[in-house]
């Protein structure tokens, strides 16, 4: 029996500071995440994926309205942070009166703003379109060059815009990458990538030649209408049995 009169001796609290838990280095954490991610599909599976996408939509088309390479360039530049539907509404009255760089310069920046004022960042976009048009007139005779590298030097034109233009206007099999294509690429996954540029470079190396010309359209339409960001509609996806995405919505 314990002697209740005997004082209970307690161990004094430690005065030395406790050692904090070692933080996992960001690089190591990223590596761990990549190790847990599904491995990219093999070449045979990739071919089958694009065969099915082609079968479902043999001649895919972009959803921006345009009449020539210049109006396509303007429409794609205006589509940044905007919907294709919104751009088409804005350009419905614009392109009939300004379908060349020279006509756009004659319309003037204020005239252009009046047509595109419903779009996000319309002031900046108007300045870029006018500066882009001026360079096309002064340096390229009013023609749109078939070169991603040259187009990227124009005001308001990045890699994605340039790749879309040469793909659609000139049949250059570039794979322009937006948020939809980036998502689909990493979900299936066709490749494991961290940036749009890295995604484009990977896809242009991996996609078989026979599918590369239309790959941009197949992937963007698939991401826009089926493989959606918040809730992909896996139940009607033509390649759901080939997809390795772990969070499918199939019941």
The per-residue pLDDT for 4 is: 36
Q: How far apart are CA 222 and CA 53, in angstroms?
A: 8
Task: Concatenate the DSSP letters of all residues of 235-250 into one string.
Answer: GG-TTTTT---TT---
Q: Does residue 33 have a pLDDT over 70?
A: no
pLDDT band at 8 (very low <50, low <70, confident <90, very high): very low
Is 3.40.630.10 the CATH classification of the domain at 43-61+174-236?
A: no
Give the CA radius of gyration of the chain. 27
Residues 114-143 have a mean pLDDT of 98
211 or 11: which carries more pLDDT confidence? 211
Q: Which of 178, 205, 209, 247 is catalytic?
A: 178
> Degrees (nearest 5) of the Cα angle 192, 193, 195?
165
pTM, two decimals, is 0.81
Look at residues 235, 227, 226, 243 and name the one whose alpha carbon lies nearest to residue 189: 243
CATH number of 69-170: 1.10.340.30
Q: Does residue 113 have a pLDDT over 80?
A: yes
The per-residue pLDDT for 213 is: 96
Mean pLDDT check: name the lowest of 24-28, 29-33, 201-205: 29-33
Q: Output the six-digit token pair for 190.
A: 């066709």
Q: Does residue 6 have a pLDDT over 50?
A: no
Q: Which of 127, 160, 231, 247 is catalytic?
A: 160
Contact by Cβ (8 Å): 238, 246:
no
* 123 among annotated binding-site residues: no
CA distances to 94, 108, 110, 181 from 114, rounded to whole Å, are 9, 10, 6, 32
Q: Does residue 14 have a pLDDT over 60?
A: no
Whether 228 is catalytic: no
What contacts 162, CB < 8 A, 6 or more positions away? 148, 151, 152
Residue ranges with strand state E in the chain: none
What pLDDT digit, counting tens, does each position of 37-53 carry?
A: 689 999 999 999 999 99
The per-residue pLDDT for 16 is: 47
* Mean of all residue pLDDT scores within the chain: 89
Residues 64-87 have a mean pLDDT of 97
Domain definitions of the chain by residue range: 43-61+174-236, 69-170
The per-residue pLDDT for 250 is: 82
Residues 163-174 have a mean pLDDT of 96
Q: Does residue 251 have a pLDDT over 90?
A: no
Whether 178 is catalytic: yes
SS3 of residue 78 by DSSP? helix
* 227 among annotated binding-site residues: yes
């Amino acid at each position: 029996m314990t002697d209740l009169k005997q004082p209970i001796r307690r161990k004094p609290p430690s005065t030395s500071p406790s050692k904090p838990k070692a933080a996992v280095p960001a690089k190591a954490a990223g590596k761990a995440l990549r190790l847990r991610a599904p491995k990219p599909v093999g070449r045979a599976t990739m071919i089958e994926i694009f065969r099915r996408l082609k079968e479902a939509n043999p001649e895919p088309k972009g959803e921006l309205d345009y009449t020539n390479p210049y109006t396509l360039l303007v429409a794609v530049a205006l589509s940044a942070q905007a919907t294709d539907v919104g751009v088409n509404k804005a350009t419905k009255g614009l392109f009939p009166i300004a379908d060349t760089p020279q006509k756009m310069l004659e319309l003037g920046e204020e005239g252009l703003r009046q047509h595109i004022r419903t779009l996000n960042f319309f002031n900046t976009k108007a300045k870029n379109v006018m500066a882009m048009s001026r360079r096309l007139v002064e340096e390229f005779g009013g023609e749109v060059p078939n070169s991603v590298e040259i187009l990227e030097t124009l005001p308001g034109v990045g890699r994605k815009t340039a790749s879309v233009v040469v793909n659609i206007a000139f049949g250059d099999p570039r794979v322009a990458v937006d948020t939809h294509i980036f998502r689909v690429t990493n979900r299936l996954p066709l490749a494991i990538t961290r940036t749009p540029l890295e995604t484009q470079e990977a896809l242009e190396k991996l996609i078989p030649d026979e599918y590369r010309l239309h790959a941009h359209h197949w992937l963007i339409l698939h991401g826009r209408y089926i493989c959606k960001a918040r809730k992909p509609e896996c139940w009607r996806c033509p390649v759901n049995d080939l997809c390795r995405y772990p969070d499918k919505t199939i019941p």
